[in-house]
């Protein structure tokens, strides 16, 4: 097995976003996993297992550890009376497995047709669609324990499945890498077409009989009408989970929104369709910011329309979540996993720049004292809302990755100046003033292009971005 360095990850994800992996390898066996884990421990770096890259948003700064591309292959079907046990390796394509099961007339996963990704990722997310969760068919999961370098089986109960959740997304499952999944599929099954879209499909005049093959065809057709084609757009599918609330909250919501749909869960709660809320309550269908937006046909889906950054995606996602909270008082959770971290490029973390950050601002202050640059730079964002304090604004910006802008003019009346570095060579720069005015722009960093920065070779007004970033903090 080969361990490579500085491998670009954006082409290995369906979002088509992501920076470099510090280390990268392809694991085709448990022995490869042992070798990779041993390497990571010696190097003192974290591990991230990448399957089909269909449910992740990788940072523009990449992952500063070892990315293991899961490629363990193999599918085996074992007869077990009225059922068939399908033992599938983690690196197999999920939809290829579903297709094979349907061809064999085995019931249980047909409603999950068309979901991108690998089999190993299915239990992690407890993937679900059209009224079915994958946990309903999982018998056991084989895991590789990166702590003791051994394998063992976990029963479905031990996997602690919940709605879009499992043991593998929690701290006590962080050391486990899924290597195989055992499914219990029925030879004779009853069509599950209660989900609204499927029910509508099979009750139309001239609709086919709901055989297992026709259910798969129907699901694929419905999905293709709702989700953007991966060969044209970047997306990770549904970005948020549908919120689950108790009946008391539902009754309060119905007083304001009598038509809000709801679906009972097995534990006595109710699931609300977030797509309906985003469309009918928030009016967010088709919402767009720069290179990212909500898909017109399905507002649960965030789409990379071209050269979107992970930063843009997270800013829009935060705006959507805040809008839902403000409109209906419910906090929504992300379904897509954000991987990696945003931090200044390594080339800026040197002794030279450490000294520059100390002395250049002093030189800049002397220059300004003699009259050069005594104004406020362009691009007014707005004014801080009366119910927010400067400290609130600073905490919010810090939480979004903003930190002090060392190499910058101090504009007239400026209280503080912060920046967020993106794509290594560019930055968003925000200033707050003593009259509560907020200004900001997008430009070269002073470190990467000193002359271009000084001469404002790139100096633009990313209005949509700032409107989303500062939603709830700014008034015009």
Domains of the chain listed by start with CATH number:
4-70 (3.30.43.10), 75-203 (3.30.465.10), 227-339 (3.90.78.10), 346-475 (no CATH)
Q: How confident is the model at residue 367, as a pLDDT?
A: 82
Cα distance between residue 394 and residue 418, in whole Å: 9
Residue 263, SS3 per DSSP: strand
Cα distance between residue 332 and residue 133, in whole Å: 20
Residue 454, SS3 per DSSP: helix
pTM for the full predicted model: 0.85
Beta strands in 121-187 (DSSP E): 128-129, 132-133, 138-145, 150-155, 176-186
Cα distance between residue 433 and residue 276, in whole Å: 40
Per-residue tokens: 231 = 């060969």
Q: In Å, how far from its chain's centre is CA 42? A: 30
3-state secondary structure 320-338: HHHHHHHHHCCCCCECCEE
Nearest to 297 by CA among 279, 312, 315: 279
State the DSSP string of 362-418. Answer: HHHHHHHHTTSS-SPPS-EEEEE-TT--HHHHHHHHHHTT-EE--SS---TTEEEEE
Q: How confident is the model at residue 439, as a pLDDT?
A: 97
Per-residue tokens: 49 = 């297992």
Q: How confident is the model at residue 345, as a pLDDT?
A: 79
Strand-by-strand arrangement of the 75-80 sheet: 75-80, 83-89, 176-186, 138-145, 150-155
Q: Is 422 left (phi over 0), alpha (psi -120 to 50) or beta?
A: beta
Per-residue pLDDT of the chain in tens (476 residues, 90 and over written 9): 999 999 999 999 999 999 999 999 999 999 999 999 999 999 999 999 999 999 999 998 899 999 999 999 999 999 999 999 999 999 999 999 999 999 999 999 999 999 999 999 999 999 999 999 999 999 999 999 999 999 999 999 999 999 999 999 999 999 999 999 999 999 999 999 999 899 999 999 999 999 999 999 999 999 999 899 888 899 999 999 999 999 999 999 999 999 999 999 888 899 999 999 999 999 999 999 889 999 999 999 999 998 899 989 999 999 999 999 999 999 999 999 999 876 777 788 888 888 989 988 888 888 887 777 778 989 999 999 999 999 999 999 999 989 999 999 899 899 999 999 987 789 999 999 999 999 999 999 999 999 999 889 999 998 889 999 999 999 98
Cα distance between residue 400 and residue 402, in whole Å: 6
Per-residue tokens: 471 = 């939603």
Cα distance between residue 334 and residue 318, in whole Å: 10
Q: Hey, what long-range contacts does 80-84 have (CB within 8 A, 24 or more apart)?
A: 80/184, 82/186, 82/187, 82/188, 83/184, 83/185, 83/186, 83/187, 84/184, 84/185, 84/186, 84/187
φ and ψ of 56, to 5 deg: -130, 150
Cα distance between residue 97 and residue 109, in whole Å: 9
Cα distance between residue 91 and residue 118, in whole Å: 6
Determine contact, residues 118/93, Cβ cutoff 8 Å: yes
Q: How far apart are the first and last CA of the chain?
A: 57
* DSSP, res 93: B
Q: How confident is the model at residue 121, as a pLDDT?
A: 96
CA-only gyration radius of the chain, Å: 25
Cα distance between residue 111 and residue 130, in whole Å: 6
Q: How confident is the model at residue 119, as a pLDDT?
A: 98
Determine contact, residues 84/77, Cβ cutoff 8 Å: yes
Query: To 5 degrees, how large is the angle CA 111–CA 102–CA 187?
Result: 100
Neighbours of 438 (CB within 10 A): 19
Per-residue tokens: 40 = 């990571």
Those residues whose C-beta lies under 8 Å from the C-beta of residue 12, and which sit 6 or more positions away, are: 18, 50, 53, 69
Cα distance between residue 242 and residue 223, in whole Å: 17
Q: How confident is the model at residue 349, as a pLDDT?
A: 82
Cα distance between residue 240 and residue 335, in whole Å: 5
Nearest to 215 by CA among 205, 206, 225, 207: 207
Give the residue numbers annotated as catalytic, written as ranges.
164, 238, 335
Q: How confident is the model at residue 447, as a pLDDT?
A: 93
């Amino acid at each position: 097995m080969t361990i490579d360095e500085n491998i670009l990850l954006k082409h290995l994800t369906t979002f088509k976003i992501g920076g470099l992996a510090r280390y990268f390898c392809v694991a085709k066996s448990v022995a490869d996993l042992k070798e990779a884990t041993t390497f990571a421990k010696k190097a003192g770096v974290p591990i991230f297992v990448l399957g089909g890259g269909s449910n992740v948003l990788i940072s523009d700064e990449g992952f500063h550890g070892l990315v293991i591309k899961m490629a363990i292959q193999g599918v085996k079907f074992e007869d077990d009376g009225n059922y068939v046990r399908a033992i599938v390796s983690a690196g197999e394509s999920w939809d290829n497995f579903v297709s094979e099961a349907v061809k064999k007339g085995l019931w249980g996963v047909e409603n999950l047709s068309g979901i991108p990704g690998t089999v190993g990722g299915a239990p992690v997310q407890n993937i679900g669609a059209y009224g079915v969760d994958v946990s309903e068919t999982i018998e056991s999961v084989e895991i590789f324990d990166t702590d003791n370098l051994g394998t063992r089986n976990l029963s479905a109960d031990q996997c602690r499945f919940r709605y879009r959740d499992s043991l593998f997304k929690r701290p006590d499952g962080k050391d486990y890498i899924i290597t195989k999944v055992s499914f219990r599929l029925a030879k004779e099954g009853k069509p599950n077409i209660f989900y609204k879209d499927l029910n509508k499909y099979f009750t139309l005049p001239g609709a086919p009989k709901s055989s297992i093959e026709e259910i798969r065809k129907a699901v694929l057709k419905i999905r293709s009408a709702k989700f953007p084609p991966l060969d044209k757009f970047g997306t990770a599918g549904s970005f948020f989970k549908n919120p689950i609330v108790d009946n008391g909250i539902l009754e309060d919501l119905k007083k304001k929104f009598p038509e809000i749909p709801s679906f009972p869960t097995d534990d006595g709660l109710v699931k609300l369709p977030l797509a309906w809320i985003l469309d009918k309550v928030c009016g967010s269908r088709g919402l767009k910011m720069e290179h990212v937006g909500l898909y017109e046909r399905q507002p649960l889906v965030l789409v990379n329309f071209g050269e979107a950054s992970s930063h843009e995606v997270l800013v829009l996602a935060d705006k959507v979540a805040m809008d839902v909270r403000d409109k209906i008082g419910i906090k929504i959770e992300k379904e897509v996993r954000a991987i990696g971290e945003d931090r200044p490029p390594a080339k800026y973390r040197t002794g030279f720049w450490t000294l520059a950050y100390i002395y250049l601002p002093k030189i800049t202050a002397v220059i300004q004292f003699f009259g050069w640059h005594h104004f406020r730079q362009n691009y007014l964002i707005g004014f801080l809302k009366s119910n927010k304090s400067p400290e609130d604004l600073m905490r919010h910006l810090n939480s979004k990755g903003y930190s002090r802008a060392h190499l910058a003019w101090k504009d007239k009346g400026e209280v503080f100046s912060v920046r967020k570095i993106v794509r290594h060579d560019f930055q968003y720069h925000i200033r707050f003033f003593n009259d509560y005015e907020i200004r900001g722009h997008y430009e070269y960093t002073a470190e990467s292009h000193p002359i271009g920065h000084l001469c404002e070779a790139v100096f633009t007004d990313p209005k949509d971005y700032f409107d989303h970033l500062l939603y709830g903090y700014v008034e015009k």
